[in-house]
């Protein structure tokens, strides 16, 4: 029976935290009450991408996009939209930049217009827990094409021609990596997926696993065929319970359908897949540390060479890519290398998925062609900076990346351009900052993260980053000298050049890039003992402006430490010795009489 409507409910982690499971249950209940459960198909999908508007519900065939839906809205959606054909206007996307007061279809939303969804093509479209829906969207056809129409070397040649580069951060040519693994001689080889997504604010791989897990399985099967491996492992963070559960369901379904296992589709190729749960160590995102952890050892990086393609998991040749890299493979095989290479720039082909966060209106998951400018991401897709604030910088690559200042907002985003300006692609986190962010504090935040996450194996990373963090602490407390800035810069390059793995080698990047583009802020902290953004508490003071104060007493009432004195209708005063600089007084003052 053909359904007359489909209702899609976002089942990604963000919307699930907003009770999308309850929304689904309520919609199901009201559909049954109205005897519509046979006519209307209700689907829990993966992430739609526009997390700022979640929980999201989309109704087809018209594609009506409902935002900020609550469980209590389910009855109205069923009664009004499904029964009477009337759109629930109050739940429509209210993005005014679309040129209308409300956006009925999510395709009309500026957030999606500049995107090109390749990796995310099935996310928010299919039920990730139903293999039949993946099959209906050309699922496993790429694998079938590879094993029945192509030789293993043909598959690798297509990837080389496509120009696909690894999406895990380094940007190494994928086809070349597969070639190394194929050329290694061994009685056993392995295919490994790095799903240990550890960058603060990054959730690209998680969303693919939650919304399209079979794409990863299919890609790893293709990789197994191409390099001569019959065993695969997915190393995934245990903090991703929805992704883990859907992967487990997808693997079980593939086994039941005979898609995984021995002599798949009668082709003679065999492939099995297992999950390995990581405990959340950031260093295990480094491929050799990941291999150690997969083997049950301490997650520490290995000396390279030998590289994993020669001696990897259990000392056997191993191919490792991350989730996003694999997710491109089936589409490339089906549509061709030329199709993929037509997107992007000369040296950075295809699209890139970013987790867009920070001081931006449209936080969420975006997929853009390589070469799209940062301005397009911030102003068009992201909707600009909230509250009329000024864009100051964007951090790409997480703790391993660097800051892009406002002066470079028209920089095309690709591997080489980002490196040339002192940043890097990383796995795809993109944090937007406004004029209220202190860049010294930002550098300290990321460095504190890497200090905590260092495995401690090599001295430059273990000790060097700790000393570097101590210098930043001195700067933010107003205790540093100009000589400390010179020492900081020298230490950054020593750590980069002498650390064992990528974690240590890239840890100083946030410091180097912020010092390069915001040196005046560092100098203000050191020489003037001031934080221009008013973030560093040790260098910040609060003062009531006498001519603006009307003596209402609001600030005095909210002060948690009694640092404000003054009678009603008299001028109030802040005692700097008692003030803990919490900002409660500024938030309460309706006359803007308190300056920071």
Is residue 223 a contact partner of residue 184, using CB atoms and an 8 Å limit? no
Which residues lie closer than 8 Å to 573 by C-beta, 6 or more apart? Answer: 544, 564, 565, 566
Question: How far apart (Å, rounded) are the C-alpha atoms in residues 100 and 137?
Answer: 33
Are 520 and 404 contained in the same domain? no
Are 295 and 201 contained in the same domain? yes
Which residues lie closer than 8 Å to 567 by C-beta, 6 or more apart? Answer: 551
Residue 433 lies in a domain: yes
This prediction's pTM = 0.91
For the chain, the 3-state helix, strand and coil shares in percent, each to the nearest 5, are 45, 15, 40
Are 198 and 258 contained in the same domain? yes
How remote is the C-alpha of 159 from its chain's centroid? 25
Residue 89 lies in a domain: yes
Q: What angle do CA 121, 124, 128 make, to 5 degrees?
A: 90
Q: How far apart are the first and last CA of the chain?
A: 66
Query: At 566, which CATH number?
Result: 3.30.70.20
Domain holding 387, by residue range, is 351-437
Are 140 and 58 contained in the same domain? no
What is the model's pLDDT at position 95?
Answer: 56
Are 36 and 179 contained in the same domain? no
Which one of 288, 314, 340 terminates a domain? 340
| Torsion, Cα of 305, 311, 312, 318 (10° steps) | 110
Q: Mapped to the 3 state alphabet, what secondary structure does 81-133 carry?
A: HHHHCCCCHHHEECCHHHCCCCECEHHHCHHHHCCCCCCCCCCCCCCCCCHHH
Task: Tell me the Cα Rg of the chain.
Answer: 26
Q: How many domains does the chain have?
A: 5
What is the model's pLDDT at position 107?
Answer: 60
Residue 431: its H or E element: strand 429-434
Are 489 and 401 contained in the same domain? no
Residue 406 lies in a domain: yes
Residue 403 lies in a domain: yes
pLDDT in tens, the chain (596 residues): 456 889 999 999 999 999 999 999 999 999 999 999 889 999 999 999 999 998 999 999 988 999 999 999 999 999 999 999 899 999 987 654 333 334 445 566 788 888 999 999 999 999 999 999 999 999 999 999 999 999 999 999 999 999 999 998 788 999 999 999 999 999 999 999 999 988 888 889 999 999 999 999 999 999 999 999 999 999 999 999 999 999 999 999 999 999 999 999 888 899 999 999 998 888 888 899 999 999 999 999 998 899 999 999 999 999 999 999 999 999 999 999 999 999 999 999 999 999 999 999 999 999 999 999 999 999 999 999 999 999 999 999 888 888 999 999 999 999 999 999 988 887 788 999 999 999 999 999 999 999 998 898 999 999 999 999 999 999 999 999 999 999 999 999 999 999 999 889 999 999 999 999 999 999 999 999 999 998 898 888 889 999 999 999 999 999 999 999 999 999 999 998 899 988 899 999 999 999 88
Nearest Cα residue to 499 out of 467, 531, 463 = 463
Which one of 340, 363, 382 terminates a domain? 340
């Amino acid at each position: 029976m053909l359904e007359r409507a489909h209702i899609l409910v976002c089942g990604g982690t963000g919307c699930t935290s907003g009770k999308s499971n309850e929304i689904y249950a309520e919609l199901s209940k009201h559909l049954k009450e109205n005897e519509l459960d046979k006519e209307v198909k209700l689907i829990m999908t993966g992430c739609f991408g526009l997390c700022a508007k979640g929980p999201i519900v989309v109704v087809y065939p018209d594609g009506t996009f409902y935002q900020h839906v609550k469980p209590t809205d389910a009855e109205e959606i069923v009664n009004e939209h499904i029964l009477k054909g009337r759109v629930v206007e109050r739940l429509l996307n209210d993005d005014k930049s679309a040129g209308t007061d409300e956006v009925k279809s999510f395709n009309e939303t500026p957030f999606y217009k500049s995107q090109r969804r390749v990796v995310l093509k099935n996310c928010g479209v299919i039920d990730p827990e139903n293999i039949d829906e993946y099959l209906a969207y050309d699922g496993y056809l790429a694998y079938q094409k590879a094993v029945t129409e192509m030789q293993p070397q043909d598959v690798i040649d297509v990837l080389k021609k496509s120009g696909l580069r690894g999406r895990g951060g380094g940007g190494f040519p994928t086809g070349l990596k597969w070639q190394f693994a194929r050329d290694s001689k061994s009685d056993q080889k392995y295919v490994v997926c790095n799903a240990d997504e550890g960058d603060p604010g990054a959730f690209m791989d998680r969303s693919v696993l939650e919304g399209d897990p079979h794409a990863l399985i299919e890609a790893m099967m293709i990789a197994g065929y191409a390099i001569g491996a019959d065993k695969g492992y997915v190393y995934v963070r245990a903090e991703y319970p929805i992704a883990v559960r859907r992967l487990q369901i997808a693997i079980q379904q593939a086994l039941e359908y005979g898609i995984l296992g021995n002599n798949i589709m009668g082709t003679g190729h065999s492939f099995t897949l297992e999950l390995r749960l990581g405990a959340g160590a950031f260093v295990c995102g480094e491929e050799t540390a990941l291999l150690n952890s997969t083997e049950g050892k301490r997650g520490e990086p290995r000396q390279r060479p030998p590289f994993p393609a020669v001696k990897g998991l259990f000392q056997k040749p191993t191919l490792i890519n991350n989730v996003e890299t694999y997710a491109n493979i089936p589409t490339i095989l089906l549509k061709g290398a030329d199709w993929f290479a037509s997107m992007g720039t000369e040296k950075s082909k295809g699209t890139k998925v970013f987790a867009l966060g920070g001081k931006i209106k449209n936080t969420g998951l975006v997929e853009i062609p390589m070469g799209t400018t940062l301005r397009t991401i911030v102003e068009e897709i992201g909707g600009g900076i909230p509250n009329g604030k000024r864009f100051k910088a964007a951090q790409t690559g997480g703790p391993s990346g660097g800051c892009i200042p406002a002066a470079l907002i028209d920089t095309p985003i690709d591997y080489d351009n980002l490196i040339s300006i002192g940043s890097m692609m990383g796995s795809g986190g993109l944090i937007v900052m406004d004029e209220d962010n202190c860049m010294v504090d930002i550098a300290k935040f990321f460095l504190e993260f890497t200090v905590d996450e260092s495995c401690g194996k090599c001295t430059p990373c273990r000790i060097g980053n700790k000393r570097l963090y101590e210098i930043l602490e001195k700067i933010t407390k107003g205790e540093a000298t100009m000589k400390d800035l010179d020492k900081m810069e020298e230490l950054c390059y020593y750590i980069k050049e002498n650390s064992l793995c990528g974690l240590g080698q890239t840890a100083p990047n946030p410091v180097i890039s912020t010092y390069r583009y915001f040196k005046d802020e560092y100098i203000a902290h050191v020489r003037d003992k001031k934080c221009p953004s008013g973030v560093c508490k040790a260098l910040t003071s609060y003062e009531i402006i006498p001519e603006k104060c009307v003596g209402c007493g609001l600030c005095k009432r909210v002060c948690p430490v009694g640092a404000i004195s003054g009678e009603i209708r008299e001028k109030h005063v802040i005692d700097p010795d008692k003030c803990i600089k919490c900002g409660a007084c500024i938030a309460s003052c309706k006359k803007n009489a308190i300056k920071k």
